[in-house]
Amino acid sequence: MAATPEIPRQEVPQIQERTDEFIVPETLQQSTGVKVVQKNFTAQVKSDRGQPLIQTPPTQVISVTPPAPQITLTSWAKGSITSSLSWLGTFWIRVIKKAMHFGWKVEERQDVTN
């Protein structure tokens, strides 16, 4: 028997979050002064020192440019496990799959010939 046995207890959350939206009728808004609060903030909220408290990241368009066509990358990935080219091909195939999952733009490499 242990010197200090742990007694499992069910933890009851102290705060319960509700996912449903509360709709405040117009008559209640006029009579009590209750107003609907906007959830998406467009203004920059600043602290007492003038530093921004909330920063919204700008919309980014991410593009991926693999070093070779996908057919070539697949053939590279099927090589020996001791070859670094196999690992490079596997890495880029993984990046392309990730780009497709997140909706990033996959660009073909433009070879510049002089």
Give, for all 114 residues of the chain, the pLDDT tens digit: 556 667 666 776 676 766 666 666 677 666 776 666 656 656 677 888 888 777 666 677 888 999 999 899 999 999 999 999 999 999 999 999 999 888 888 888 776 554
Residue 102: what pLDDT? 85
Tell me the C-alpha distance between 66 and 7, whole Å.
Answer: 55
Q: Is the entire prediction scored with pTM above 0.95?
A: no
Q: Are 103 and 62 in contact (CB under 8 A)?
A: no
Give the per-residue pLDDT at 52: 78
pLDDT at 11: 72
Predicted pLDDT at 60 = 75
